[in-house]
Structure 1
Amino acid sequence: MTTPLDAFDGAFSLSDPVIETDQSAKTQTSETLRLFKEMLLMIVSEILSHEADPLLNTPYNQFPHRQPGNLSVVCPSYPEPHVNMEHGWQKTPPQFHHFNQKQEMLDGNHHNGKYAKNSDPGDISLFEGKSLMPLNSAYKEYLRNVPKAHWQEKSTCSHLNALNKQDQKKFKNMDITGIVNLQCSHVFIKASVDLQFGERFFIHQLKLNRLKHAHFRFANVDYALTLALQQHCHLDSLDNKFITSCNHLVSYDIACAYWVHVMERFEIKFPDLVPAVKKIHWLIPAVHMFNHKDNCIYIHAAAYTPLAGHFHSEMAEHYWAECNQLGPQT
């Protein structure tokens, strides 16, 4: 089977005659794709089923700290209490906290956009926010409440100057201009969100007593980071201690701008995640680093970060080689 129509004919020959044979190829293809989506959800739900969790009485088989019904594939090497951490890890001396180190990477891709066009209104995700992408209605509501930019602050970093000069014409007639992934250092995606108008940041004047200045508003990237942190939302005291004490590295190619007001943004939008965000040390990928100023190198390079090892964080680019082949189809 080399085409969707071949797949449709094959499914028709193996099924009850419930599919009209006189349908057009366009209708047949649409129904076949919808059938595949439903089949994919059934397969993934069966493989990653959480319904059986209460039946597993041993502590090694229960994952009460994970989100119920989560259908994403969890990295087996990523440090996780109750799963792959040694007993007594909480007694690790501060100078050895890198033994429990979490390494994550943020990266955006503008080749995976989607043009605004008439499409099937029934062509929606069946995962309902239980996998890598957020629930669409919740994400749209979040973006709707983000204040619009009154002005856009220019950065002195040369890498961000290039970002500021993005040709907005390339985003014309597009309702999705790219995606942002957050993944671990073993290239397991933890969260992915759509972009609007690139990785631009929003700025607005906060009318709060403690925040009198304008600051960056990375609305989309903040949401991706939030989704990743919320994957362990059902936390007991042991989990909370792990999140707030372990060494947490997050790499982003424009981290020198992103991290400046990240605490203020999370205090406003996601205050429950502030303790976890406080523990993050922000890095810039090794190859991208040469596009930044020297000051960025000394602050955000893994080579100058104690206990970071050789975390070059360029693995974030691996997925784009495959994803870029899908971009022109949308």
Structure 2
Amino acid sequence: MESSPDVCRVCKDPTAASSIRCQDCFGDEMLCEGCCVDRHAAHPLHRIEKWNGQFFEKCQLSELGLRVQLGHRPRQRCAVPRAAHSNFWVLHTNGFHRVNVDICGCEHAGVSGAPDIQMLQAGWFPATDDIPRTCVTFACLDLFLTLTLQAKTTMYDFYSILEKMTNHTGIKPPNRYPVFLRVCREYRHLLMLKRAGRGHEAGGVMATKPGGLAVLCPCCPRPGVNISNDWEKASPECRFLYIMFLAIDACFWLKRRLVSNEIKNAPLGPGWSYMVESAPYREFLRTATNQNEMSTCSGLAALDYANTKFSRGYSATGVGMGVCACHEFVQPTGVGDLQKGERYYSYVNMDYIYTSILRHIHAGLPKIVSYDIVCQCEVPPCVKELPPLVRLRAVLRLWRFVVPKMHIHSHTQACQLAYSLNTVPGSAQTDGEGIERSWAHLGGVASNTREMGPGSREDVLNCHLGNWNWGKLINLGEFSRRLWHYLPKEEYETQVESFTNFSAQQAKRVPEWTRLVEEWDADPTGKKSPYEASIHRVTEKEVLLQLEKAEAERVAAGIPGIHAVSPSSFIAAGLEVEDEQSEISIVALRRKLTRTVGRLRTLQQTYTPASIMALNAREAPEGEHIENEPLFLPSALSAEQLREEPLHGLAVIEDCLCDTQCSTALEDLRRHLLVKSRVLTYKRLQARHQGANTRARAIVERNEGSIRLHSEKYQDAWEAKRRLAGGDPARVGWSVLRAQDIRGMSDGEQSNVREISWIWTGAGLSGTDEPNMEDALRIEWSKAHARCRRWDEETKLLREEQHRLPIFLNSVKY
């Protein structure tokens, strides 16, 4: 005979009603109170609901009589139990639990007889070591750490979730938020010590050295660890394999308000992982003097932002940090706060931070340091004044300072030549921008740490930085494999083929260019950069200024002008209108152009009345737009008219300005043809799917428009010079530009034309552009040579790093 549905199916006691169900057990089996307590002896933190006749209401297992015995296995009772605090609470992943706890007091307790030790053995982290009243389970702490590291969940949000999981009707459990903050901080710190093996090292925890808890990069060169101690005996062509790449930068999002102080809220392990030692760093900043950090070189606004009203009320306006530029591992003791207060943000902070990093790097290793404003602080004046703890011991000649590849475009041309990674020997394809990806990861922590005390904030940042390094470590092998098979070998072969063809075409010039590049690579100090133009390009504005200066001298000599607008200004205005005519396309711009042409006609009545006569005698087509109306500049007049004054002088001025237009247009045309080649290569290799191809196609079309405009400008200027020369092309001094001549350096290899276009190999008929052409060829050859070397270095460096990775992991234990 089956029992009643209201009778417990486990004990089948007719007096024991099945009124209890567990939300965390599998299934929805109903149990009586006794069976529920017995079944949950090993699961005292499950959520229980009891049927009250109308609905299920939440209750605690402690209310049913469950007692948790520590120091023994489940369901085993101690002979001499000692009850813990009567109001004992445990925070678990499913909420708050009030638990009846018994402490083992018999001989089985042994050395673990202390209540806090017994709780730790059970997987509960006690809030104190003396009569604890609250514990947080390891599972709860692990869940919080996972959520905060991945989703940047704050402690307050996580604690609020636990409250709502306990009771979502507004009735809160006892306030354990301060306890939860303290336990999380201690647990986080102990995990870092445990993972670094400090419990098994000589001297224990207190023997931890600065940076001893940091996760190190396994691919960076470390003599005696992943490279041999005799690495200095390597051949000169292989020395670049032992370069240490560093990137430093500042982030002004990671601020901290004026909350608490170091005495009330000290870090648990000052300087043991990623943040610098707080006490000596703070002492150094007290004695540091201000430095003027503003510069007109860089277009970046980070420093200006740091010194605005948005930094008021903050003890730290951000952090400075250093990473290995190739693999983006945050360096030991390589992170420090930036202060405003009475002193504005200055370079002394960054000087201290990156010299603190160098303590953990072999002094003899050559180093390449990237910093987005390194042009302002390459040789910091305060380096010699740094405290002995971080004072430089490395040899400065082993250093090269560079600007990251994205940031360098915000600098002046001089900085781009001096600090470009593309031209630094041994830099391979390092972009120097890895630290920006680290900032993107840490950005979500800014709101979490803004209101923390200095010690709590340092511990949280150390935890997140350690998680970043650990994620890099476990993915480094797969990343290295994918990087090796993705591009370097194929790209290197492509660059070598292109460079070889280019060198063959310029065989006579190559020896001299090679000498310049080698001298620059050996020591750029005081040397002429092979990547810099040695001939200054004379612009139309400069020619116009020279002509106006000459006209002013004639006026000073007593030869007055015939109009307030000088002849050179008149011709320049006509050429400017001619340029506007080639670009006009909108109705509103046509109205503006009409007014501009009208002003030019007024000047022509004074300087070239023959132009007005020719305009009046002309039969204009019906519906002709203003951009198609001829201007009748001196070059459009007859040879007989040009022999008369002042037309003869105006023709000389126009010829001079057209000559400058030919030079300028030809150089701009070359530049845009090079851009076209780069864009098409990028589109072929990188653009995938409709969106990316559409954007790439739009860039190509805009560049094609620029190529068309510059070629038309050259052709118009050449035609004007031909007419001024009496129609004889031999007297123009420039080659005629045909449609088939407008092609890139390597375009001839893909077409029936086997020779490179004259716009790359030669100048005008009279050699007017020869010096500029020499410069353009030398610069392009030097860049092609640098690209080949960088890709060759990249392939060799990737292979070397793949060799270092397993050696390091076999020698270092995490």
Which residue of 27, 35, 40 corresponds with 2:183? 35
In 2: Cα distance, 1:153 partner to 1:75 partner = 32
Letter in 2 for 1:18: P
Alignment counterpart, residue 338 of structure 2, candidates 195, 209, 220: 195
- Is 2:249 the counterpart of 1:107? yes
Which residue identity is paired with 1:293? T
CA distance in 2, matches of 1:50, 1:91: 36
* 1:140 matched residue in structure 2: 282
Does residue 136 of structure 2 align to residue 19 of structure 1? no
Tell me the distance in 1 between the aligned counterparts of 2:97 and 2:323. 36
Return the offset for 1:93: 2.6
- CA shift for structure 1 position 247: 2.5
Q: 1:163 — aligned with what?
A: 303
1:75 aligns with 2:217: yes
Match of 1:320 in 2: 439
- Higher strand proportion, which one? 1
How far does the alpha carbon of each residue in 1:276-304 deviate from its partner, in whole angstroms, 9 at most, with x for none?
44422111111111100011111111012
Give the match's secondary structure for 1:325.
helix
SS at 2:320 equivalent = strand
Whether contact under 8 Å (1:7, 1:32) holds in the other structure is: no
The 1-side partners of 2:413 and 2:358 are apart by: 31
Alignment CA distance shift 1:116-1:12 (3 Å) = farther
Q: CA deviation at 1:305?
A: 1.1
| Distance (Å, rounded) in 2 between the aligned partners of 1:122 and 1:165 | 30
Equivalent in the alignment of 1:230: 359
CA-to-aligned-CA distance 1:62-89 (integer Å, 9 cap, x gap): xxxx947711111111100111003531
Give ranges in structure 1 of 5+ residues lacking alignment: 56-65, 203-217, 233-238
The within-5 A match list for 1:282-297 is 282-297=401-416
CA distance 1:26–1:145, shift in 2 (3 Å):
farther
1:176 to 312, 316, 329: 316
User: 2-side partners of 1:286 and 1:89: how far apart?
Assistant: 29
CA displacement at 1:91 relative to structure 2:
0.6
Question: Cα distance 1:49–1:153, how it changes in 2: closer, same or farther (>3 A)?
Answer: closer
Per the alignment, residue 236 of structure 1 pairs with: none
Cα contact 2:210–2:271 (8 A) shared by 1: no
Q: Give yes or no for contact 2:245–2:369 (8 Å, CA) kept in 1.
A: yes
Taking every aligned residue pair, what percent have the same amino acid on both sides?
Answer: 23
The letter for the 2-side match of 1:109 is C
The residue aligned with 1:214 is none
In structure 2, do the counterparts of structure 1 residues 153 and 287 end up closer, same or farther at CA, with 3 Å as the change threshold?
A: closer
After superposition, the Cα gap between the structure-2 partners of 1:29 and 1:121, relative to the gap in structure 1 and judged at 3 Å, is farther
In 2, Cα distance between the equivalents of 1:161 and 1:221?
A: 17
State the Cα deviation string for residues 192-230 of structure 1 (Å, max 9, x = none).
Answer: 00011399664xxxxxxxxxxxxxxx1110111122111
Greater CA drift, 11-20 or 168-177: 11-20
d(CA) in 2 for partners of 1:303 and 1:155? Answer: 24
Distance, in Å, in 2 between the alignment partners of 1:136 and 1:7 is 35
1:101-129: per-residue Cα shift (whole Å, max 9, x none)?
11111011111101113589644321121
For 2:191 and 2:409, locate their aligned partners in 1 and report how far apart those are by CA, in whole Å. 44
Conserved? CA contact 2:401–2:419, under 8 Å = yes
Q: How does 1:259-274 map to 2 (within 5 A)?
A: 259=378, 261-262=379-380, 264-269=381-386, 272-274=391-393
Kindly tell me: are residues 26 and 277 of structure 1, through their superposed partners in 2, closer, same or farther at Cα, counting changes over 3 Å? Answer: farther
State the Cα distance separating 1:96 from its structure 2 match: 2.4
**8 Å contact 2:319–2:337 — kept in the other structure?**
yes
Q: Distance in 2 between matches of 1:69 and 1:114?
A: 23
* Separation of aligned partners in 2, 1:121 and 1:266: 29
Which has the higher mean CA deviation after the structures are superposed, 274-283 or 83-92?
274-283
Cross-structure match for 2:370? 251
- Give the Cα separation in 1 of the matches to 2:355 and 2:242: 21
Q: Is the 8 A contact 2:96 2:173 kept in 1?
A: no
Offset of residue 231 of structure 1: 2.2
Shift of 1:265: 2.2
CA distance in structure 1 between the aligned counterparts of 2:320 and 2:294, rounded to whole angstroms: 22
Structure 2, unaligned runs of 5 or more: 1-90, 100-123, 136-171, 451-814
Which structure: larger Rg? 2
CA shift in 2, pair 1:20/1:316, >3 Å: closer
When the two chains are superposed, the root-mean-square deviation of aligned CA atoms in Å is 3.4
Match of 2:427 among 308, 315, 319: 308
User: In the aligned structure 2, how far is the partner of 1:28 from the partner of 1:313?
Assistant: 45
**1:105/1:316 contact within 8 Å kept:** yes
Query: What count of residue pairs does the alignment treat as equivalent?
Result: 286
Query: What's the CA shift string for 1:154-205, capped at 9, x where partnerless?
Result: 4331436773475510101111100111011211101100011399664xxx
Distance 2:370 2:300 in 1: 16
In 2, Cα distance between equivalents of 1:268 and 1:189: 25
Q: Give the whole-Å Cα distance in 2 for the aligned partners of 1:284 and 1:195.
A: 21
After superposition, the Cα gap between the structure-2 partners of 1:69 and 1:322, relative to the gap in structure 1 and judged at 3 Å, is closer
Q: Give the distance between the partners of 1:49 and 1:324, measured in 2 at CA.
A: 30
* 1:186 to 2:305 alignment: no
Aligned partners of 2:405, 2:174: CA distance in 1, in Å?
47
Q: What's the CA shift for 1:20?
A: 5.9
Alpha-carbon shift at residue 35 of structure 1 (Å)? 1.2
C-alpha spacing 1:293/1:48, structure 2 compared with 1 (3 Å): same
Match of 2:552 in 1: none
TM-score normalised over the length of structure 2: 0.32
Contact 1:75 1:186 in 2 (8 A): yes
2: CA distance between counterparts of 1:314 and 1:69?
A: 24
Query: Is the 8 Å Cα contact of residues 252 and 319 (structure 2) preserved in structure 1?
Result: yes
**Hey, what's the Cα distance between the residues in 1 that align with 2:403 and 2:181?**
40
Q: Which residue of 1 aligns with 2:233?
A: 91
Higher relative contact order (CA 8 A, sep 6+): 1
Q: Distance in 2 between matches of 1:282 and 1:112?
A: 26
Kindly report which structure 2 residues correspond to 1:209-220, keeping only aligned pairs within 5 A, or say none.
Answer: 218-220=347-349
| In structure 1, C-alpha distance between the alignment counterparts of 2:295 and 2:187, rounded to whole Å | 47
Q: 1:221 aligns with which of 350, 358, 362?
A: 350
Residue of structure 1 in register with 2:640 after alignment? none
Amino acid at match of 1:94: P
The answer to whether the Cα contact below 8 Å between 2:298 and 2:373 also exists between their aligned partners in 1 is no
The more displaced of 155-164 and 293-302 is: 155-164
Shift of 1:135: 2.0
CA deviations on 1:250-275 (whole Å, 9 max, x unpaired) are 1101011021x32x422222575243
**Which portions of structure 1, spanning 4 or more consecutive aligned residues, are displaced by more than 4 angstroms?**
5-17, 24-27, 50-55, 66-69, 118-122, 164-167, 198-202
User: Which residue type is aligned with residue 83 of structure 1?
Assistant: V
Q: Do the aligned partners of residues 200 and 187 (structure 1) sit closer, same or farther apart at CA in structure 2, a change above 3 Å counting?
A: farther
Give the AA of the match of 1:108: A
Q: 1:200 to 1:69 in 2, by over 3 A?
A: closer
Worse overlay, 109-118 or 280-289: 109-118
